[in-house]
């Protein structure tokens, strides 16, 4: 990659954004900052406000309150065409009456780039996404994956300061999705472009992102690197949404600073925590399915019955029931382990990897 | 810089923090279009209403009341309704057997039969009447054959009967198409359920199938009724004066422009049309219930047993009957003498020489008026469709409502309204009223055909996904450029197809045209046909003009359907 091709990436700051549609609040007081060249993902279930937030950044939706800043400059009221963006839509939004060339060239024509340069840059952009020679096709003559690449080329060709992607891979099949994911990652790093990515797919978010913001009902729940969010969720929503933790009902039996002791199914466990918890308080004990050890002798700390097993070839996962009736998922077991439904097994939870969150009745 | 009228930054319109309600550029366009639709549609209709119920003394129902005390008017009302009912009944008789055949059976040459049976749509009833006169009129070939060979004296195409026949033969394909589609779309499981419950054959047809297609049939049938009731051209060609259309026409053009009786008659026509179309709308609302949601078509049956073969024979007879007007017109247009003989006794191209070289103004005027009307109608329709789907303006539905209102307004009534309004509009600098200028014709055609243009364009606009425009905005295109480069190209196909249909329907518009004619030099083809048809020696030229009209309509419909990819839905 030549230096000349590198774009002038911007820094994005969202300052207390709020947006209502009718009486429904889509975004409530959302503040975030995205660093120069960072790959930043907005993650959350459908209806959490992530797409609205992206559209506010694009200028397609005006917020009721709050500001959007690009490199410290307030662009909240700036129309989309002046923001120098690249955007990939969920349905690609390729113009059906234009060829691949015209689709990609569109933004350059609007920027009054001379014809010879338009041709060169469109060719380069299409080469970059692996579509050289497809210039004369119409979108209807392309496969879903090819349309996706055209949309990406169209977004990148204008050398935008910020790349916005709205669930770009949700219409692709699983295999293609993984392939496109790694290509996007490579392109983004090559170009060093600031990228704001919207998805409800946690795996996509973990693989691609420098940082992730988890959104719920229009609010920011937690932002951080994939590792921080996965390993140290600050809220039960994050633990549950990202990686699907087991949430086991427990009670604090001894409060302390940095660590508490909880009781689960008649057993006591010491768990690290930052939260202020009182003795006797009901909590969720959050345990990742891969942080549970299963032993065949049932003399371990906890005892459980095997409910069902899923054999995936390279690994084994199981659904267990604790003695108090709580269900528990376990992953990453040795596939040769002789687990049978109905069998009683011992469990060992690695307390340093577990977390506790207050539980409301 | 771009032309910036339409590219006011969104921010400037947003004094408050909320998303702004209105867009200045949209408001400007909205105002402009409201003015256009107001002048072309609302003013003329309102002025007819006013003429009927307001006079020097203020509001009065005296004129409308007089309508119901005047035997001539009552007879005209009866005749109009009779013609409407008769045309609907006859068109149904012609349409239903082939509809059943086409909707339920599958056979080779089916497409050919459909095309053949829809050919009558290309010949306007008042042109068809000329042809019918030659085939089924007093000295028509079939009338003569009937008398000579069978000794039966019966003139089918004369007087009211002729009006009924002309309309039935023109409009039956319309019922045919709606009912065929409805039959093909009835959910097969509804009939299967009845069969399982023990209904078969005619009982199945009577108790289940017919009730299911009845709403579709009613919509088509009511349209035939309205058109036959409203018509002016066909009665004039067949010299029938005691109908509502001709009465209104004669009152206004021969008695006085301000004659209140003419407006009272117009009001009655308007109410009749509104009532019928209101009924059609109500019946149409029940239509969704029974049809397949998937659009899947049932597999047609093979032609087994004698039933379908009888249907096929009847359909072919109907097909031949449908060609009678065309045959008469085309043959008459090349005949030197055709009087009291089966076929012409000499052939000539004189009539074409007359209309193309000696008096070419009829055709030239039509091309000018229809092209102007098509371009204007499309421009207005694109604007209305855009505002309807994207407009940030107060009450976008108002514009759409006003623009589609003429669908319920008889051509005569709109023509009367135009005359009443624009006769008083002096053109600055010329000192003559607007009605003296040729532009009044395209204006009338735009008003009459706007509903169809708006519907077609709006359907095309609904296909444009908003993200296509958002993608353009993000790519750096400003509002006007988004419209030019994305929206317009995407709706243009639909709009052009609509424009061509406006062109062909304008080319054969008669009811309103005839009211606005002040000088022969300005008259278009449709009025030329009427003029020539007044004298026995001119009938050949009238037929030649009629043939030109048929060719224009056929070509235009074909091209529009090729572009738009839709079934023919021509109506006038």
Q: Compute the CA torsion angle B38, B40, B42, B48 (nearest 10 deg).
A: 150
Q: Is A84 on the interface with B (CB under 8 A)?
A: yes
pLDDT tens across B97-123, in order? 999 888 888 888 888 888 888 888 888
Restricting to A residues 89-148, those with a Cβ less than 8 Å away from any Cβ of B are: 89, 91, 93-97, 106-107, 110-111
Token pair listed for A187: 């392109």
Mean pLDDT of chain B: 82
Q: Does position A7 have pLDDT exceeding 70, yes or no?
A: no
Question: Using CB atoms, which residue from B465, B474, B477 is nearest to A87?
Answer: B474
When mean pLDDT is compared across B30-34, B153-157, B474-478, the lowest value belongs to: B153-157
Q: Does position B286 have pLDDT exceeding 70, yes or no?
A: no
Chain A nearest-CA residue for B466: A93
Restricting to B residues 547-566, those with a Cβ less than 8 Å away from any Cβ of A are: none
* Strand pairing class (B335-337; B54-55): unpaired
Q: Is B468 on the interface with A (CB under 8 A)?
A: yes
Q: Does position B398 have pLDDT exceeding 90, yes or no?
A: no
Inter-chain CB proximity A93 and B11 less than 8 Å:
no
Q: How confident is the model at residue B5 (pLDDT cuts 50, 70, 90)?
A: very low
Mean pLDDT of chain A: 88
pLDDT at B298: 59
Q: How confident is the model at residue B88 (pLDDT cuts 50, 70, 90)?
A: very high
Q: Is A324 on the interface with B (CB under 8 A)?
A: no
User: Percentage of chain B surpassing pLDDT 70?
Assistant: 92
Residue reference for tokens 């949404």? A241
Inter-chain CB proximity A106 and B472 less than 8 Å:
yes
pLDDT at B564: 67
Residues of A in contact with B478 (CB under 8 A): 79, 81, 110
Q: Does position B494 have pLDDT exceeding 80, yes or no?
A: yes
The answer to whether B81 touches B161, Cβ cutoff 8 Å, is no
Burial B436-460 (b: 16+ CB within 10 A, else e): bbbbbbbbbbbbbbbbbbbbbbbeb
Q: Does position B348 have pLDDT exceeding 60, yes or no?
A: yes
Phi, psi values for residue A292, rounded to 5°: -115, 130
- Best residue of A93, A152, A155, A166 to probe chain B, by most B CBs closer than 10 Å: A93
Q: Is B478 on the interface with A (CB under 8 A)?
A: yes
pLDDT tens across B375-397, in order? 999 999 999 999 988 888 888 78
The answer to whether A58 touches A227, Cβ cutoff 8 Å, is no
pLDDT at B137: 78
Q: Does position A148 have pLDDT exceeding 50, yes or no?
A: yes
Instruction: Kindly tell me the burial class for residue B305, based on how many C-beta atoms sit within 10 Å of its own C-beta (0-12, 13-18, 19 or more).
Output: exposed
Residue reference for tokens 């014709």? B441
Chain A nearest-CA residue for B15: A77
Q: How confident is the model at residue A4 (pLDDT cuts 50, 70, 90)?
A: very low
Residues in chain A: 361
Inter-chain CB proximity B474 and A111 less than 8 Å:
no
Q: What are the angstrom distances between the C-alpha of A333 and each of A293, A327, A353?
A: 8, 17, 17
Q: What are the angstrom distances between the C-alpha of A98 and each of A53, A106, A140, A183, B461?
A: 29, 9, 10, 25, 17
Chain B nearest-CA residue for A85: B474
When mean pLDDT is compared across A136-145, A269-278, A305-314, the lowest value belongs to: A269-278
- Distance in Å, alpha carbon of A81 to nearest chain B alpha carbon: 4
Q: Is B167 on the interface with A (CB under 8 A)?
A: no
Q: Does position A1 have pLDDT exceeding 60, yes or no?
A: no
Question: Using CB atoms, which residue from B467, B481, B489 is nearest to A89?
Answer: B467
Q: Which residue has the higher pLDDT, A52 or A278?
A: A52
Q: Does position B56 have pLDDT exceeding 90, yes or no?
A: no
Residues of A in contact with B476 (CB under 8 A): 81, 84, 107, 110-111, 158
Question: Using CB atoms, which residue from A62, A64, A85 is nearest to B474?
Answer: A85
- Best residue of A20, A55, A95, A152 to probe chain B, by most B CBs closer than 10 Å: A95
Residue reference for tokens 């409203």? B230
- Distance in Å, alpha carbon of A181 to nearest chain B alpha carbon: 21
pLDDT tens across B139-151, in order? 777 877 777 788 7
Q: Does position A64 have pLDDT exceeding 60, yes or no?
A: yes
Can you tell me the distance from the alpha carbon of B120 to that of B326, in angstroms, rounded to the nearest whole number? 8
Inter-chain CB proximity A81 and B19 less than 8 Å:
no
Residues of A in contact with B11 (CB under 8 A): 76-79
Residues of B in contact with A147 (CB under 8 A): none
Q: Does position A251 have pLDDT exceeding 70, yes or no?
A: yes
Inter-chain CB proximity B9 and A97 less than 8 Å:
no
Can you tell me the distance from the alpha carbon of A95 to that of A138, in angstroms, rounded to the nearest whole number? 9
Beta-carbon pairs below 8 A across chains A and B: 84
Q: How confident is the model at residue B284 (pLDDT cuts 50, 70, 90)?
A: low
Inter-chain CB proximity B467 and A93 less than 8 Å:
yes
Can you tell me the distance from the alpha carbon of B189 to that of B323, in angstroms, rounded to the nearest whole number? 38
Q: What mean pLDDT is predicted for residues A107-123?
A: 93
pLDDT at A2: 41
Q: What mean pLDDT is predicted for residues A143-158?
A: 92
Question: Using CB atoms, which residue from A64, A93, A95 is nearest to B17?
Answer: A64
Q: Which residue has the higher pLDDT, B44 or B189?
A: B44
Q: Is A25 on the interface with B (CB under 8 A)?
A: no
pLDDT tens across B510-546, in order? 888 988 888 888 899 888 888 888 888 888 888 888 8
User: Percentage of chain B surpassing pLDDT 90?
Assistant: 17
Q: What's the angle, vertex CA B232, arms to CA B567 and CA B156, rounded to 5? A: 85
Token pair listed for A88: 């990939």
When mean pLDDT is compared across A200-204, A212-216, B290-294, the lowest value belongs to: B290-294
Chain A nearest-CA residue for B485: A106
pLDDT at B567: 40
Residues of A in contact with B467 (CB under 8 A): 89, 91, 93
| Neighbouring C-beta atoms of residue A133, cutoff 10 Å | 10
Range from A152-166, A331-345, B495-509 that averages highest in pLDDT: A152-166
Q: Is B475 on the interface with A (CB under 8 A)?
A: yes
Q: How confident is the model at residue A105 (pLDDT cuts 50, 70, 90)?
A: very high
**What string of DSSP letters covers A317-359?**
EEEEEETTS-EEEEEEE-TT----TT-EEEEEE-GGG-EEEE-
pLDDT tens across B214-223, in order? 888 888 888 8
Question: Using CB atoms, which residue from B11, B472, B489 is nearest to A77?
Answer: B11
Q: Is B254 on the interface with A (CB under 8 A)?
A: no
pLDDT at B299: 61
Residues of A in contact with B485 (CB under 8 A): 106
Inter-chain CB proximity B490 and A96 less than 8 Å:
yes
Residues of A in contact with B15 (CB under 8 A): none
């Amino acid at each position: 990659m030549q230096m000349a091709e590198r774009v002038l990436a911007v820094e994005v700051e969202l300052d207390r954004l709020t947006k209502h549609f009718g009486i429904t609040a889509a975004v409530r007081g959302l503040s975030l900052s995205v660093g120069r060249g960072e790959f930043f993902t907005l993650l959350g279930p459908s209806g959490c406000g992530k797409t609205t937030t992206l559209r506010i950044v694009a200028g397609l939706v005006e917020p009721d309150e709050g500001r959007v800043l690009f490199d410290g400059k307030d662009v909240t009221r700036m129309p989309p065409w002046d923001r120098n963006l690249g955007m990939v839509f969920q349905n690609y939004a390729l113009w059906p009456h234009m060829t691949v060339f015209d689709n990609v060239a569109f933004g350059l024509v609007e920027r009054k780039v001379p014809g010879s340069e338009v041709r060169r840059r469109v060719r380069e952009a299409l080469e970059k996404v692996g579509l050289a020679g497809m210039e004369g096709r119409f979108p209807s003559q392309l496969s879903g994956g090819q349309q996706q690449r055209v949309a990406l080329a169209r977004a990148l060709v204008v050398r935008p300061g910020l790349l916005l992607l709205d669930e770009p891979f949700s219409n692709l099949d699983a295999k293609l999705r993984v392939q496109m994911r790694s290509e996007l990652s490579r392109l983004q790093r090559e170009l060093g472009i600031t990228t704001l990515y919207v998805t409800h797919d946690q795996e996509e978010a973990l693989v691609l992102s420098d940082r992730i913001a988890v959104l719920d009902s229009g609010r920011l729940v937690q932002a951080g690197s994939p590792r921080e969010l996965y390993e140290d969720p600050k809220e039960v929503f994050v633990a549950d949404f990202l990686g699907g933790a087991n949430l086991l009902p427990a009670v604090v039996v001894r409060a302390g600073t940095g660590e508490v002791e909880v009781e689960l199914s008649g057993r006591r466990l010491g768990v690290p925590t930052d939260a202020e918890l009182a003795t006797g308080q009901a909590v969720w004990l959050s345990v990742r399915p891969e942080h549970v050890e299963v032993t065949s002798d049932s003399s371990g700390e906890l005892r459980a019955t095997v409910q069902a097993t899923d054999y995936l070839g390279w690994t084994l996962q199981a659904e267990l029931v604790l003695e108090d009736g709580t269900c528990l998922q376990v992953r990453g077991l040795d596939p040769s382990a002789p687990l049978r439904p109905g069998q009683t097994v011992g469990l060992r939870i690695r307390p340093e990897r577990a977390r506790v969150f207050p539980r409301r009745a | 810089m771009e032309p910036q009228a339409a590219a006011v930054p969104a921010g400037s319109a947003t004094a408050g923090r909320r998303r702004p309600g209105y867009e200045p550029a949209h408001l400007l366009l909205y105002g402009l279009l409201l003015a256009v639709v107001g002048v072309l549609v609302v003013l003329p209709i309102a002025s007819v209403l006013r003429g009927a119920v307001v006079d020097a003394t203020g509001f009065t129902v005296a004129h409308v009341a007089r309508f119901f005390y005047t035997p001539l008017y009552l007879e005209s009302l009866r005749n109009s309704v009779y013609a409407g009912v008769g045309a609907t009944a006859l068109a149904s008789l012609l349409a239903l057997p082939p509809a059943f055949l086409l909707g339920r059976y599958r056979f080779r040459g089916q497409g050919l039969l459909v095309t053949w049976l829809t050919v009558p749509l290309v010949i306007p009833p008042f042109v068809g009447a000329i042809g019918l006169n030659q085939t089924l009129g007093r000295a028509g070939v079939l009338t003569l054959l009937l008398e000579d060979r069978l000794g039966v004296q019966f003139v089918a195409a004369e007087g009211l009967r002729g009006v009924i026949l002309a309309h039935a033969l023109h409009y039956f394909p319309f019922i045919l198409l709606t009912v065929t589609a409805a039959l093909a779309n009835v959910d097969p499981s509804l009939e299967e359920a009845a069969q399982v419950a023990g209904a078969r054959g005619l009982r199945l047809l009577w108790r289940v199938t017919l009730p299911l297609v009845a709403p579709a049939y009613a919509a088509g049938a009511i349209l035939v009724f309205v058109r036959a009731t409203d018509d002016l051209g066909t009665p004039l060609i067949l010299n029938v004066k005691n109908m509502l259309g001709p009465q209104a026409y004669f009152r206004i053009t021969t008695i006085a422009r301000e004659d209140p009786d003419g407006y009272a008659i117009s009001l009655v026509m308007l109410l009749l049309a509104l009532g019928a179309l209101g009924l059609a709308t109500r019946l149409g609302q029940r239509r969704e219930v029974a049809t397949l949601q998937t659009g899947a078509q049932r597999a047609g049956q093979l032609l087994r047993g004698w039933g379908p073969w009888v249907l096929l024979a009847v359909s072919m007879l109907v097909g031949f009957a449908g060609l009678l007007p065309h045959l008469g017109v085309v043959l008459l247009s090349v005949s030197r003498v055709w009087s009291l003989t089966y076929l012409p006794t000499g052939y000539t191209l004189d009539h074409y020489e007359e209309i193309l070289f000696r008096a070419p103004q009829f055709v030239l005027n039509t091309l000018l008026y229809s092209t102007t009307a098509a371009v204007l109608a499309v421009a207005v329709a694109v604007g209305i469709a855009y505002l309807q789907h994207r407009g940030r303006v107060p009450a976008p539905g108002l514009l759409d409502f006003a623009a589609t209102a003429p669908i319920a307004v008889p051509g005569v009534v709109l023509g009367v309204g135009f005359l009443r309004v624009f006769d008083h509009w002096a053109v600055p600098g010329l000192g003559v009223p607007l009605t003296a200028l040729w532009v009044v014709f395209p204006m009338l055609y735009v008003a009459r055909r706007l509903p169809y243009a708006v519907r077609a364009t709006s359907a095309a606009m609904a296909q444009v996904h908003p993200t296509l425009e958002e993608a353009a905005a993000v790519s750096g295109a400003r509002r006007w450029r988004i419209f030019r480069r994305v929206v317009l190209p995407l709706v243009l196909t639909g709009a052009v197809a609509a424009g061509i249909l406006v062109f062909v329907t304008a080319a054969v518009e008669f009811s309103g045209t005839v009211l606005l004619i002040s000088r022969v030099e300005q008259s278009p083809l449709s009025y030329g046909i009427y003029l020539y048809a007044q004298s026995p020696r001119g009938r050949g030229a009238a037929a030649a003009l009629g043939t030109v009209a048929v060719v224009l309509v056929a070509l235009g419909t074909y091209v529009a359907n090729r572009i738009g990819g839709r079934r023919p839905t021509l109506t006038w």
